Structure formats: structure tokens, C-alpha cells
Structure 1
Amino acid sequence: MKNSYINKFKYGFLGASVLLGTVACSEDHFDVKDPSSNGSGSTIWKSIQSNPDLSEVADVLSKTRVMKDEKDKKSTLTYDKWLDASDELAAWLPTNDNFDPQPYHNKLAEAERLKAIPDSLAAGLRLEYQVVKQFVNNHIALFNSGASLTQPKVRMLNSKNTAFNLAEGTFGGVKFNPALTTHNSNGVLYVLESEVPFRHNIYDYMSSSSRFSTVFGIITNPMYDKNVFSPSASLEGAMNEKGEMVYVDSVFINTNEILNRSNALIKSEDSIYVAFIPDNEAYKQTYKALEPLFEYGKSYNYDWQDGKFNKTGGNALKFNVDSLVAVSTQSTLLQSMFFNPSSFEGVDKTDSAALINHIMTADSLITTNGVVFYNKNKGGINPMFDGLTPVKASNGYVFVPSENRIDPAYSFMGRTEISPRFITAKLQNCKSENGEVINLTIENWQKDSVEGEVENDQYMFYEYNGNMSLKFKILGLPSGHYKISAQMLPNRINYYNANKDDEGNQKPEDPRFSATLTDDASKRFGKTVNNIHVPQDRVANVVLFDDVYVDKSYAILPDGYESFAILEIKMSAKDHKDGGCPKG
């Protein structure tokens, strides 16, 4: 037997997380120095105040807090105070003529209203942080970030890389008047003709519109999105009376379990991704399409040892089915929305037209977490993307479907190869305890009489020794309909395993067997298929089940518990004899 083929689920959500995101401190995000230490000379803030054409932006700055992240409720410092301090900064600010401050005032006012309501505090902080990230920090940079007038791009406080051309007098594509530039004791102030549009990265784009309130609401749910204390990155102080370390500066690292498991750094400005993000209606439809993959049973036997499950009956695994269905369906979709162009072979990643064309027409695409999406219209436009115009983000492209476009049979239940060598559960009446790995060589390979290729010139050989039963673990199988095949080789492919008479002449044989698929409690999925034959002239994919319905899901079971469906191949003494197989 070679590899078994089965439409199997790419799974995995709960588990170890890779920390990513931004570092957050317990004190103010920036090391603000005392304004009194400026010495003589004007500060950026004083230059702003002295220019009446900057009065509107000055009003916004004086009302906006310096926030380290969207959960910062402690900071009391506002930008007018910081721009009056001694930190070296560079600011590009718009004049009153082409700047409308009202949207920012509205957001800040609404944020204050929400923050006064305990249950709405988080929403208020997020709204306030939008003003910080999308406007204020989009126009200010640390002086050492590249704002030294020589770099083609400047790293802004919101981590955006913005084009800066001193010779042409442009910043982010917006003109500034060099004659109005002021060099101050704490940095440089440039006066722009208008504000620089905020360029959303993929994460920002999701947060920017109510169209994605469902998806973004799940991703930012505290169940998945957390600030984790990092002792190694924090500054230690002294022990308290209980012998516990008191930290002078506590550092927290933001971690998001969904994004971590997706393996896509969609907050990073230094990466490029292609995202497929459903709007609220599409999410609802896609959720319904994926939900049938998670028809969980009432209980699961687990702890497989010595050819059986040890935890059964009252000791079997039980859980809240509805809750796990919701978590599994959500996570399956949301962690599989991103593609990394670095995996697109032969595509120039800097050529946006070539990149988009590949997305639209490739036979298959692999997500950043390893799920393969197959093109149902092979050779043509992929129905997943047909008719959709990608939105350009600062770190990639976003496709937004307004209805479900994901077919589980062409994605989460795609074809997967499983080597029997690594999924053996139990062998009975087989001469070798675990089967035997056979290497085909020039000496033993009868290529003239058996057609077909054998991967790595290697296959598994199970030698009959009575009523033989081979049981294999089918791990992570979601509920649904399956076609299951096994790649079979005739004994005669190997000269030394061929059936021979007493004079050494090879004899014909017609091996046959049965196949059964059961759950962890030995309940059959469908019927046992009997009298399955192995072709003797070629390597063949032998269909075991043309359409078997699995009504119990094994995908994304609670972490630490392994239960599975079992595929059993049986060759009875009668099958062995009737097939004319060699005696064991």
C-alpha cells in the first residue's frame, strides 16, 4: 500500500501562540522630557501657535492624548504638551484652508461619551486611538526615524513609511512650502497644503468600516486579543514584603491568537499580503457554509494505547458542543483569510498587475496557515475572486466579497495524502509488527510488467499471517461527504514478493479485501465495502469509498485530547485464498 488519499481538513487553532504586535508600557509610550529643559529657542508647538493658518490643527492636537495603543486609558499627556517638550521630532501639518477638523472633533467627543459608560470603555478608547493613529501620528515622526531630510521615506509614529522629497517639496504626495518651514529647538515643522491621507494596512482597513464589524469584532474579542505581561522585557525594582518582584516599568506584549495562528503579520508595514475578507453579510453566509464541518458528537473516546482507546464511557471527552462549533467555525474562517505573495512562484512581487492576475487565475492558492484553496474553474478566473476589485492597502491588497464564495470541498476539505506508515493504529495477523518499508531498486523492480510511478521508490508492505486487519488513524476529519482512495501496488511489482510456483514461475493472483470506516466508538460511517480488487498490471488509486458521509467531526477538538476515526482494511482467509495470494 502506498499513500492513502482522503479529503481531509487543515485544522488547528487552540495552542501555543507566537507573540506579535506592539510593545506597550505601563507608563506613557514616549519618553517625554520636561519642557523647561528646552533652553532658548522656539519649540514646534510654539511655532504652531505663532502661525494662525495652523489654528485648526492646533485645536485637534491640544485635545488628543498621546496613547501607546488602543487600550491606553492612563495617559494624560496631550500632543500640544509633547510638541512643546525637548524630544526631537518632525511634524508635517496642514493649513486651515484645506483641512476639515470636524470629523476628528466628532470622534474625540464620541470617544469621551463612550468612555464614561463602563461597558463602552473599550469602544471609546478604540475610537480615540483612531484619531491618534490615522491623523496625528500620521503627521509626526521621531527625528531619528529618517526625518533628517535625506531619506526617501520617513517612518511615522504610526509605523507608516511615508515618501518625503525635500527637493520637490512633497510629503506623502502633498506639497509643502519650504519658506514656512521652521527649525526649532526640538525639531522641524513643515507646513502642508493639506493633510496626508491615512493609508490603511490590512488590519486598519478591517477596523475602518462597519462593513467588517463582525470579523473585526471577533478578532479583537478579549478571548483572542490580549496584552501579556513580559517579565524579561520589564524593568525590575525591589522585592515587596511578600517576596514578590515589583517592576519599575512593566512591559506588556499584545498577542492575538487568531492572527498568530494565521501566520500573517497584517499589522506590519514591512510585509505584503493578499487578504480575502468577507463583509458582514458574506461572513454570515460563509459561517453557515462551514458550520456543517463541525457536527460534534456527545462524547469522544481518547487516549489510544495498545490498540484501543483507554478513556471511554464515563471517562470519555465531553464538552459544550454549541460553544466549540462557534469557536471552530469562526477560527477556521478568520485564520485562513490571508495569502503571502512570497509563495507565488515566478511572480514579480513588485508588479501589482502580475500579482493580482496570479491571485485571480492560479489553479490553487495556499493561505498563510497552510489551507489550499483550489480554483473550481481551473485554467480560468477563480470564482472566489471573479468580479471583485482589490483595494490597495499599505501592506498589500484586500478582496471583499459581499456573499459567500468559499466551497469547503475546494478548500477546507481539499485532497490530502496520508502515508499509512505514520498513521498506523493497530495491525492484527500481520507478520511484521508495523508493516515493512520496501525500497524498489533496479534488482527487484519489475517495471516491464507493472506500469506507474512510485513516490520515492518506496512503499509499505503488509504480509498476511491469517485473518489480517490493518487499522489506520484518520486524524482531524471534519464531518461531511468523502471519497477515500488508497494507492495500491500488486505484489508482483517486487520480484521477490511475486507469487511463484515450485519451479519459480510467477503465478497470477487477484488479491481482494474489505474496507470499513468507523468512529471512535466503533460505529460505522456508511457500509463496509467488500470484494475490493487490486489491479495487477499497474500502480492504481483504488477507491475504497466513493461517497461516505461522516456525521461526527474530529476537527479542532479541545487541546490535549486526541480522538479520531478509524479506517480498517481486512483480508480474510477466504479473500486470501480466493485471490490466489502467496501463502504466509
Structure 2
Amino acid sequence: MKRNRIYQAMGGFLGAAMLLGMPSCTDDHYDIKTDGLPCATNTIWQNIEARQDLDSLAMILKRVRVYTREDDPNKQKMTYSEYLSKPQTVTFWAPVNGSYNAKHYLDQLDAIDELRKTSPEEANKQEYILGQQFAQNHLARFNYESNKAEQEIRLLNGKICVYSPLDSLFNGVKMTEGYFPSTNGVLHLLKGQSPFAYNIFDYMAANANIFENVYGTLSDPAIDKKEFDENLSIPGGLNEDGEMVYVDSIYRTTNELLNESGAQIKNEDSLYVAVIPTDAAWQQAVEKVGKLFKYDKSYKYEYKNGNFTQTYPLDADSLSDYNLKKRLITSMYFTPSIFPGDFSRDDIDGILNHVYNADSLISTNFVTYYNPTPGKKNPLFNCEPVKASNGIIFPLTSYDLDPSYSFVGTSRIDMYSSYNVGYVKNSENGLGTSIELTDGTWNDTLVDVSILGDQKQYRYFHTNKEMTIEIPLRNLYSTSYRIKAIIVPNRAHPDNVWLDKDYKEVLQDTKFRAELWSQGKRIETTGTSDKQLIHVSDDSAKVYTIFESAEIPQCFVGLPNSITDCYPILKIICHAGKQKQPAGVSGRKGIGIAKIIVEPVRPKDE
């Protein structure tokens, strides 16, 4: 992909800006080179006014005021024509008449003047945007004429573009021959308008008609909040009512969802890959991902001694809508800074190749997206990319990735920790005993526990009765899960070996069954007959599939903070009471559990 390639935006346009780094500090200032042209006697603005082929531009610059920021409290009265008259050093690339649609901007200014009569704040915002996208998109601080090689320039609006004097190109637009030294910088003439490079957030705003769901949510004042910062504002004096009047009022803009996403998509110096559903794709995403957020109208919580002791009523529909939107919008950004390898800002081909073919990608809020077709293109990226000033955008027209490959992750519950034991009925050692097998506490010649890895840890429960071990399954969505357990043979530890009267080992027939409970109801069981019981190997630690596909009927993710200890319960029921020992044989009866694995059931598994 060439660096100057331009992608056409959907429902609007996107000028291609180079994904480049910041300019070098050595570009800060140069003496003006006239190349034989007369010495500077006029300001840039005087040179613009003197040219008939720039009279349309002059009409625009006279009417657009300079804002230092969108919420500039000073309601600036200085226009860009006045700015270009100031003693300073800037460079201005001016599009000549007929090379761009000047009437479009003059009409916009008329509309802004009319809007200011009824909504001055919105009018100021529109004027700020016009200044950012037009005037400042042709303007840069300092003089760049001593360097004739291709160079990177930071425009006044913060965008990065390429200036190539030898090729007579500025931001991909052809310049006329020669330039005009001025007392406050240099004026160039362009045969077209400098294309504005939207950042990711700007791109959504410019195409709000097709991103109504995403941008409409992100820009909602309840989410995108502007708050007065008293500490940074400059106080003046008290008014007649005794209230402080500030000379310079500073406002901070915070966006709850962008902050939670970890993606600063308004920042020009950032680099992201954004997968943004258009409204058509949003509806598909809601249908697919919405199934994960099915809430009950009330939840039992505060699990103690095998029972949930409290009940909390919910507005299920409202919570489902909020968490669904939040999950989709905060999880659609990826940063190349954590991709394997070293990708530069302009290595678009390399970045695209990685996102298309990686086995998995981790979003900025740590959601792992798996490629359901390893070795082939990930169906998440099913549209043409659009290049933004701070990354790459995929404006999805369809949502083709099943959520079991993204939002529904795998949990590996470590039973070595007592935190993961909710309650044990008929245990002779309470919540079990943590065991770590070492050279002195492991019958390594009898039992293979390599599946446990380097840390050979598990929890052992023993009893002479039917024992029920209740294990919380935290943070599950309303979807199907495969539930497994890694069980360690009792004889792995010398203390739990069965011996006869001659001290010879006797093998054990450890067996168990399981039940899955949610909100006081049993939703799955393995059965109680001997054939349905799960028999544990005496020779090695193994993974046992307890439930191939268990449907959790309600969502336990994103519940209100006041709902504590609320989750489905996996019950491991050990039939130690029915486990008979031959005459003269001694030893504990029980079961060793290393991990419980809860993983999503995916379409190809069904």
C-alpha cells in the first residue's frame, strides 16, 4: 500500500494523512530563501489580499475566528486574516480560486451566523471545526524553505503531513511555481485544497449519519462530559452577587467509555486499529452479542454456608442495554504498540497483514479476539480499511464474528486457593487442604502429574461420607460453556495412599458426579447411576469433561456493585461413603482437584 493512497470514506470523505511521527526539533526555524524573488516587505495576509486568485480565500479567512480550543471561553475576536498579519514565523499554503469549493465554506459561515442567534455555543463549536479543518489545515508554524528534501510537518491543527518542495507537493496537492517571502513567514499557492485527515473520533463525527449508534453514544453529554476545572482556571474578581468571575475558565472533557476503553482516539500522536460497526452492522452485533446479556429481574446474592442470603431487584432491560453498548464500544480498538514485532507508523501493509492473520488480538481494554479460521483472514475485518490521522478504521457493514471468539473467555479456576471454594458439606478437613507436590511429597514413580506444569498444586478434600464441594463460577455470561476439571489421583501424595496390613498399596476407585446450579435452580447434572459417575484414574492427573455444553440462563457480568458473591455454583459430589475399602486396608477417602476450566462453546464445536 503506497503511503499517499486515499480511501474514500462512507457517507462522507476522508483525506489521507500520513501516519507519521512528530517533526524533528531541527525544523523549528530557518531563514527565508527567496530563490531570486524580491525581499519580503508584506505580511502573509497582505500578500493574500493583493492576489486576485486568492480573493475567495480572503473572504473566508476574514470571517473565521481563531480558537485555541473547542471550548475557548474567550470567544476569540481575532480572525485568521488578523492572525496572518501578526509578527511571527508561519508558513501558509493557499488554495487558489477554482481549485476547491469556496462557496461551501462561505455557506457554512452564513449558517453559523444564523445559528449563533439561537445557539451561540453550538455556533462556536461549528466555527472551531471549520477553522480546524480548513484554515489550520493549510497553516504551520515556522519556515521550511531551507530544506528542499521531503519533510514531515505538523500543521497548526496538530495533523502531520508531508511537504516535498522538490516535487512541488504539499499534503499530496500540487503547488504552483515559486513562493512569496513575507515579513512573518512564507506564502505558497496550491492547485487544490489540502485534504483534512480525520482522526478516528473525527471520522465518526463526520460520518455520524452511518455511525448513529456508536458516535451517538460516545458524544452523548451524559458520556462525553465537560466539567469546569476551578484549580486551573484563572480567577478575576467577584461580581455584584459575590460570585467569582474567571478571566480564563478551563474545562476538562472526559469520556466515560473512551476512558474505559483505554484508547485515546482523539489524540493525534496515538496509533490504533479501530473496528467500528456502522448502524447496519450494529444491529447484527446487538443480535449476536446481546444474547450474552440476558439478566433476571432479581438476583440472589451474598453466598454463605451453601446458601444465597439476599435478593436484589433489577431493571433487567435497562442493564442489558447499557452493558451491551458499553462492551461493544469499549472493545473495538487495538494498538500496534503491543503487536509482536516493531511496526512503524507508516507500515500500513505490515499492520494490516498482522490484524488480518493473527491467531488472536488483544483490544485496548484486554478483550482477546480469536481468529476462528487460523491461517486465513479474520472475518472481523470484513471491509475495506480507511486511513485516519491516528490509525486505521474498519467501518463494518456486517458483524461476522461470533462472540464466543471474543467476549466469552476461558476461565481456569485454581483450586489451590481457598478463595475458589464456596462451601463443603461433610468434609473432614473444612475447605480442603492445599497440597504442593515436591520431591519429598510426591509418588512420582506411581503417578504422572505433568499436566499440572511446574507448580504441582491442588486441593485435597477427604471424608467418609458423601461429600459436596461447592465451587463458585464467577463472571459468566448467559451463554453455553464447556466445564472441565483437572483431578489428581489420591495416591499422588504419600499421605493419601491406601495400604493393606502388609503395607502393600491398594488401588482406589475414586468417583464423583456433578451438578450445576444457578439462582437456586439445578440446571445440569451428570446423573447418579454408577455408569454416569466419573471415575478417576489412579495413574495420572487428567482433564475430565464434566459438562460438554451447559447453558447459563442469566448473565452474571456487569451486575451492580452492591450485588456481591453472586454466581452459578458447580457442585462436585464425591461418593466416598460408597467407596468400600477391603478388610485390613487403611487410608483416607477423598478427591484432589487442581483446576476447574470453564470455556466457551463455539459454533464449530456444536
What TM-score, normalized to structure 2? 0.79
**Match of 1:47, SS?**
helix
| Secondary structure, aligned partner of 1:196 | coil
2:391 counterpart of 1:390 = no
8 Å CA contact retained: 2:451, 2:542:
no
- Decide whether aligned partners of structure 1 residues 97 and 483 sit closer, same or farther in structure 2, where only a CA change above 3 A counts: same
**Residue 82 in structure 1 maps to residue 83 in structure 2:** yes
2:472, 2:332 → 1: CA distance? Answer: 29
Rounded to whole Å, the distance in 1 between the matches of 2:303 and 2:270 is 43
1:544 aligns with 2:546: yes
What's the TM-score once normalised by structure 1's chain length?
Answer: 0.81
Q: Which residue of 2 aligns with 1:403?
A: 398
Per-residue deviation, 1:376 = 1.4
Matches within 5 A, 1:65-214: 65-70=65-70, 75-77=75-77, 78-86=79-87, 88-112=89-113, 122=122, 127-143=126-142, 152-166=151-165, 169-177=168-176, 179-185=178-184, 187-209=185-207, 210-214=209-213
Matched, 1:338 2:337: no
Q: 1:251 to 1:569 in 2, by over 3 A?
A: same
Equivalent position amino acid for 1:64 in 2: V
Distance 2:324 2:155 in 1: 37
| TM-superposed deviation, 1:517 | 2.6
Q: For residues 392-431 of structure 1, what are the structure 2 equivalents within 5 Å?
A: 392-420=387-415, 421=417, 422-431=419-428
SS at match of 2:210: helix
Residue 576 of structure 1: CA displacement? 5.8
- The Cα RMSD (Å) is 3.3
Q: CA deviation at 1:281?
A: 0.4
Answer yes or no: is the 8 Å Cα contact 1:361–1:380 preserved in 2. Answer: yes
1:52 match? 52
The alpha-carbon deviation at position 148 of structure 1 amounts to 8.3
Secondary structure at the counterpart of residue 545 of structure 2: strand
Q: How does 1:244-323 map to 2 (within 5 A)?
A: 247-304=246-303, 309-310=308-309, 312=310, 316-323=311-318
- The answer to whether the 8 Å contact 2:512/2:575 transfers is no
Q: Aligned ranges for residues 473-512 of structure 1 at < 5 Å? A: 473-512=472-511
Letter in 1 for 2:439: I
Tell me the equivalent position of 1:381. 377
Q: Deviations over 1:411-436 (max 9, x none)?
A: 11132323232433334444555443
Stretches of structure 1 that go unaligned for 5 or more consecutive residues are 1-39
The CA distance in 2 between the partners of 1:398 and 1:44, in whole Å, is 37
**In structure 2, distance between residues paired with 1:326 and 1:574:** 47
1:543-567 Cα offsets, whole Å, 9 max, x none, are: 2222222111111112453352232
The answer as to whether partners of 1:294 and 1:325 remain within 8 angstroms in 2 is: yes
Deviates more, 1:269-278 or 1:125-134: 125-134
Query: C-alpha deviations, 1:469-489, integer Å up to 9, x for none?
Result: 333332221111221112222
What do the CA deviations read for 1:2-23 (whole angstroms, capped 9, x no partner)? xxxxxxxxxxxxxxxxxxxxxx
1:247 positional shift: 4.6
Shift in alpha-carbon separation, 1:424–1:175, aligned structure 2, 3 A: same
Q: 1:538 to 1:423 in 2, by over 3 A?
A: same
1:83 offset after TM fit, Å?
Answer: 2.9
- Cα distance in 2, alignment partners of residues 542 and 534 from structure 1: 9
Q: Which residue of structure 1 aligns with residue 234 of structure 2? A: 235
Q: Distance in 1 between matches of 2:241 and 2:426?
A: 64
- SS state of the match for residue 98, structure 1? coil
Greater RCO (Cα-Cα under 8 Å, separation 6 or more):
1
Q: Secondary structure at the match of 2:93?
A: strand
Matched residues, percent identical?
32
Residues 506, 423 of structure 1: CA spacing in aligned structure 2 closer, same or farther, 3 A cutoff? Answer: same
Distance 1:230 1:572, change over 3 A: same
Q: For residues 102-152 of structure 1, give each alpha carbon's deviation from its aligned partner in whole angstroms, at most 9, with x where no partner exists.
A: 33234444445556566x975x66654442222222122344xx8686693
Q: Give how far 1:167 is off.
A: 5.5
Conserved? CA contact 1:512–1:579, under 8 Å: no
Render the CA deviation track for 1:317-345: whole Å, top value 9, x for unaligned.
Answer: 33322221111111111111111222222
- 1:30 maps to none
Do the aligned residues in 2 keep the contact of 1:302 with 1:309 (CA within 8 Å)?
Answer: yes
Q: Does 1:443 align with 2:469?
A: no
CA distance in 2 between counterparts of 1:429 and 1:245 reads: 70
Distance 1:199 1:126 in 2: 19
- Whether the 8 Å CA contact 1:513–1:575 is kept in 2: the answer is no
- For structure 2, the 5+ residue unaligned runs are 1-39, 591-606
CA distance in 2, matches of 1:560, 1:43: 65
**CA drift at 1:251:** 1.8
Letter in 2 for 1:44: I
User: Could you tell me how far 1:260 is from its partner in structure 2?
Assistant: 1.2
Q: 1:513 to 1:171 in 2, by over 3 A?
A: same
Alpha-carbon deviation of 1:243?
9.4
Partner secondary structure for residue 81 of structure 1: helix
Residues 446/242 of structure 1: CA separation in 2 closer, same or farther (3 Å cut) = farther
Distance 2:87 2:430 in 1: 75
Q: State the match for 2:360 in structure 1.
A: 364
Whole-Å separation in 2 of the counterparts to 1:491 and 1:44: 87
Distance 1:556 1:69, change over 3 A: farther
Which letter does structure 2 place at the counterpart of 1:208?
A: A
SS of structure 2 residue aligned to 1:203 = helix
Q: Is the 8 A contact 1:435 1:460 kept in 2?
A: no
SS of corresponding position for 1:506: coil
Equivalent position SS for 1:276:
strand
Output the CA distance in 1 between the equivalents of 2:474 and 2:521: 16
The corresponding residue for 2:34 is none
The structure-2 alpha-carbon separation of the partners of 1:125 and 1:376, relative to structure 1 and needing over 3 Å to count, comes to farther
Deviates more, 1:471-480 or 1:500-509: 500-509
